[in-house]
């Protein structure tokens, strides 16, 4: 008979500070994944913490070959695309957009507010889904389930599962997206599939990750070890913490990215430019479309 032991937690192998930079029109973003020191983290292509004033935004622009996940923290954001989809998301709301073979859309703050603040994550699509039809999944804050593993710890289960609570979001690339709010002096363990890569992005406060208690502070991306461990231990000490826990199954496919287009080869990128410029193979509706929210 052998003694059972507590499974070791994944550790943190890299911490990247997200420095502010300009993006779009009048927007400031803190980019972590997508920076030179963290070009991508398969299957994730980019993570931005954005702050946009009422006169800024991201007017009409195309995408192909991946998904964009917009999660609002403060303020309201409008979106509109050439397929006729239009809506507004506010604090705690989520938009999961599968660009697939092609979309042109606009993302702009609601003009009656001071700023829109949130996160946008880009998730790569596997080769067999890169040319799928575009799709939106939209969830209001009240529609996102919560797990409460203990008093003082609340987990919004945006995608995947946490402590027996599952999300309704469909992910073509297997993905976990969890929003943790922890009071001070708490310890929680989150399970993670052994094959997933992942990270924490700290929004507020300080958290200590893994058995070695790596200290994570606001605006840092903390990369998990790839050692096959199936848990991540997270603690708070003398202050509260707010962070997102994001992980997914690596695609292990070639990545060829040119701005808003992400394919598997340079030939496919060239084809994408040809399709976009000539309004074909998914971009037909872009010819005469202009958003009304700019």
Residues 6+ apart with CB under 8 A from 155: 146, 147, 148, 149, 162, 163, 165, 178, 179, 180, 190
What is the chain's length? 294
Distance between CA atoms of residues 209 and 62, nearest Å: 38
Separation between Cα atoms, residue 99 and residue 68, nearest integer Å:
7
105 marked as binding residue = yes
Give the list of residues 6+ apart from residue 165 with CB closer than 8 angstroms, or none.
Answer: 145, 146, 147, 155, 157
Under DSSP, the state recorded for 276 is H
- Distance CA(256)–CA(271), nearest Å, equals 12
Cα dihedral: 211, 216, 222, 227 (round 10): 0
Judging by DSSP bridges, how do beta strands 165-166 and 175-182 pair with one another? unpaired
Q: Is 61 marked within a binding site? A: yes
The two tokens of residue 267 are 């030939």
**Residue 219 assigned as binding residue:** no
**Mapping DSSP to helix (H, G, I), strand (E, B) and coil, where does residue 127 land?**
helix
107 is in an annotated binding site: yes
Per the annotation, where are the binding residues for Fe cation?
61, 63, 105, 107
Per the annotation, where are the binding residues?
61, 63, 105, 107
């Amino acid at each position: 008979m052998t003694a059972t032991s507590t499974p070791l937690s994944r550790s943190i192998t890299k911490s990247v500070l997200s420095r502010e930079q300009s993006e779009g029109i009048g927007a400031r973003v803190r980019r972590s994944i997508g920076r030179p020191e963290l070009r991508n983290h398969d299957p994730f292509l980019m993570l931005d913490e954005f702050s946009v004033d009422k006169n800024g935004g991201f007017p009409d622009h195309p995408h192909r070959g991946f998904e964009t996940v917009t999660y609002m923290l403060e303020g309201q954001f409008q979106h509109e695309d050439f397929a006729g989809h239009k809506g507004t998301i506010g604090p705690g709301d989520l938009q999961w957009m599968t660009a697939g073979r092609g979309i042109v859309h606009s993302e702009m703050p609601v003009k009656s507010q001071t700023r829109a603040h949130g996160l946008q994550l880009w998730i790569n699509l596997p080769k067999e889904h890169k040319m799928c039809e575009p799709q939106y999944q939209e969830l209001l804050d009240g529609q996102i389930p919560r797990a409460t593993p203990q008093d003082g710890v609340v987990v919004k289960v945006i995608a995947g599962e946490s402590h027996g609570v599952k999300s309704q979001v469909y992910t073509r690339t297997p993905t976990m997206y969890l929003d943790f709010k922890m009071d001070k002096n708490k310890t929680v363990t989150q399970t993670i599939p052994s094959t997933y890569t992942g990270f924490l992005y700290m929004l507020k406060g300080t958290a200590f990750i893994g058995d070695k208690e790596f200290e994570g502070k606001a605006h840092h991306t903390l990369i998990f070890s790839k050692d096959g461990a199936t848990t991540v231990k997270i603690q708070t000490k003398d202050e509260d913490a707010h962070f997102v826990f994001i992980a997914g199954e690596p695609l292990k496919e070639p990545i060829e990215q040119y701005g808003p287009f992400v394919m598997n080869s340079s030939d496919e990128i060239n084809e994408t430019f040809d399709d976009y410029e000539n309004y074909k193979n998914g971009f037909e509706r872009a010819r005469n479309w202009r958003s009304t929210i700019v």
